[in-house]
Every structure is written in structure tokens, then in C-alpha cells.
Amino acid sequence: MRTIRSQSFHWLSRLVPAAAFLAFLAFLPGEPAAKINVSGDIEKPVPTFTREGAVIAAKLIPRAKSTSVILRFKAAGGKLASVAGVDFNKAARPEVDVKNFKSALFAIVLEAVPRGGEARVSVISDFFTRSTAFYVFNDRLPAPWSDSRAENISHPDRVQELVVAVQDGGPRDSDGTANGKITLVGGPRDSFWGYALGTLFIRFFGIFIVLSILMIGMILSGVFFQYLDRRKARREAAAAASEPAPEAAEPAAPETAPGIPETDAAAIAAALHLHSLACRTPPPTLTLTPGHSDAWTHDGLNRMMTDRLDTYNRTLHRKD
């Protein structure tokens, strides 16, 4: 188990830096849009409108999204005459940021409204959230941008409905006159930082969640294989224990030649043994090692040399 954990942490130590590097590359700021496309806003939504009875649907690709969404417009208290897209550059002001308006701006025209009366405009989509607001633009006012305080209604399947109340000739009516016709210019607004932080949280912590799941899977797989090995070892031990042990064989008695007494056989064997030793053992020899001497040898040599000197040093008598 300790080996499997060490291997898991070894692989995890390799995967975490790679994942962190990929996350760093994912969050690197890209080049400005002006350098990529000189035409301007490359994420500018281009809606296409279709009418479905009293409802007008706008299909578009919002900012920071790669798939299209559908926004449905309807009206109460008047007739929904038309819905058109509005270039955000015409309504750009320092107090607003284009990144917060991911689905662009719309010019909504209502007709057959009682003069000075009030109508309600609804914008429905599953792209909205509970925090989505609807901002209105009216360049006739000192502060052109204002929050409409739209009612945000939740429907099944994560569908949200924004309901904006507009009075004919009121501050949200762009034509500024009570003529039975309302022109509402505005769009849904979401906090860009909320979206950015949410995306950052999902990407950053999602990597560690995936790596944690991978590590848990590796540990569980190691435990499973260890269980299989233990079960195999138990089966082999049980099979070995069930086999009977072989019986020890009794030593056989030495055989003797028929018709020869044991004493005669022992005598013959001893004679043969002595004969073989005599054949194999060389006769003892006396080996004299040159230069070998001891105290006795030295004493004998001295006596011999003395006797010889006495013999050669004897007095010679000459005859005159």
C-alpha cells in the first residue's frame, strides 16, 4: 500500500505542474481586439430575428460564449411591433462597460398603447441568471443609463424572465412623447467580474478536483489488485495444505553374500582395506632438507671440524 501511495504521489507531482502551466496559459491575456481585427469589436453579437405569433425571437452568440442563445420578446398592454439590434458604440458611456452587456442592446417598439398608459415588456431566455438586470438607455435624459428594476421571474428548466414596466412618454420611452407608441432601448446586463471569477474558480479548482479523483482511482485500483494477490495466495496455501504428506521410507537392511559367514566377510574386508592402503601409501623415506640445522647439528659439526684440524695440525717429525 505504501508503494502504491508513493507511486501515486510521484505521478501527481508530475501532473500538478503540467496542469498549473496549462492553466497559466489559459489565463494569459490575449492580444487587443484592435490588433486582431481592425474592424473593431470581434465579439459583437449579431442577432437574427424571427416572429412567432406575438413573440419575436432573437438568436445570437453572446460575448465570451461560443454557442448561440435565443432571447424571446413579448409585450403586455400593447402590441409588439418590432425588435432590432442596436450598436453599443452609439450608447457607450464612461459609466457602463460593454463587457457587462453580453447579449448586446435592443430597440423594442410597442404600438397600440393607451396614451400615457403603461405597458410591460418581457425578455425570456435560459441564458439569464437570477442576478441578470435590464438596463435602459435614453439619450434625452441627463443620465442616459438607468436600471429598470426589472422583475426577474424564474421558470422551469433554468429559464428566467425579465419584466420591464414602461410608461408611454415616461423616462424609459426614448421618443419622450405620449403618442401611444413606446420605444424601449436597452439590454440585459450581467456582472463581468462575477462571470470571470466564476470561470476562474471552475478552471482553477476543477484541475485539482480532477487530479484528486485520478489519485483516488489509482489508490483504489492498487488496493483491488492487492486484494486479488492475497486471495490467490490464500488459495495456493489451502491447496498445498490439502495435499497428503509423503510417508518416510524405512531404511533397507544391508545385503550379505549368500553362504559366507559375517566373521569371514569382515576379515576379507579388513584384508582388502589393508591391501589398498599398502598400494596407495608410498614407503616412508627420509628427506634431508639442505640448510636445516639445529643445536645438536651445530655441535656435531664443530666437533668434526675440530678433530680434522687436530689431524692436519699435528707435528711432523723429520729425519735428519
User: Side by side, which strands form the sheet with 55-60?
Assistant: 48-52, 55-60, 69-76, 118-125, 159-167, 151-155
pLDDT grade for 108, boundaries at 50, 70 and 90? very high
Strand-pairing partners, residue 277, are none
pLDDT grade for 250, boundaries at 50, 70 and 90? low
pLDDT grade for 71, boundaries at 50, 70 and 90? very high
Coil/strand/helix, residue 89: helix
What mean pLDDT comes out for the span 67-77? Answer: 95
The DSSP symbol for 14 reads: H
- Domain coordinates in residue numbering, the chain: 41-190, 192-229
Side-chain half-sphere exposure of 149, counting CA atoms within 13 A: 3
Q: Which three cell numbers stand for residue 184?
A: 424601449
CA distance 145 to 164: 15
Contact 88, 98 (CB under 8 A): yes
pLDDT grade for 182, boundaries at 50, 70 and 90? very high
CA dihedral (25, 27, 28, 31) positive or negative: positive
Of residues 70 and 103, which shows the higher confidence score?
70
Q: In terms of DSSP bridges, do strands 69-76 and 159-167 run parallel, antiparallel, or are they unpaired?
A: unpaired
CA distance 46 to 188: 15
Q: Which amino acid is at 98?
A: V
Contacting residues for 118 by C-beta, under 8 A, at least 6 apart: 77, 165, 166, 167, 168
- Return the top range by mean pLDDT from 196-210, 214-228, 284-298: 214-228
Q: Which amino acid is at 241?
A: A
Q: What is the pLDDT of residues 191-209, one digit of tens each?
A: 766 666 666 777 777 888 8
Q: Which amino acid is at 196?
A: A
pLDDT grade for 11, boundaries at 50, 70 and 90? low
Contact 1, 226 (CB under 8 A): yes
Q: Is the pLDDT of residue 33 over 50?
A: no
Name the residue among 97, 170, 109, 169 with its Cα closest to residue 135: 97
Q: Is the pLDDT of residue 218 over 80?
A: yes
User: Taking the model in full, what pTM does it have?
Assistant: 0.53
pLDDT at 267: 80
Contact 106, 186 (CB under 8 A): yes
Return the beta strands (E) in 112-230 as ranges.
Answer: 118-125, 133-137, 145-147, 151-155, 159-167, 182-189
Q: Is the pLDDT of residue 2 over 60?
A: no
Q: What is the pLDDT of residues 233-246, one digit of tens each?
A: 988 888 888 877 66
pLDDT at 299: 81
Q: What is the pLDDT of residues 120-149, one digit of tens each?
A: 999 999 999 999 999 999 999 999 999 999
pLDDT at 35: 37
CA distance 126 to 160: 6
Q: In terms of DSSP bridges, do strands 105-111 and 151-155 run parallel, antiparallel, or are they unpaired?
A: unpaired
CA distance 72 to 74: 7
Contact 189, 132 (CB under 8 A): yes
Q: Which three cell numbers stand for residue 50?
A: 424571427
What mean pLDDT comes out for the span 209-229? Answer: 90
Coil/strand/helix, residue 123: strand
In order of 224, 228, 232, 233, the CA distances from 238 in angstroms are 21, 15, 10, 9
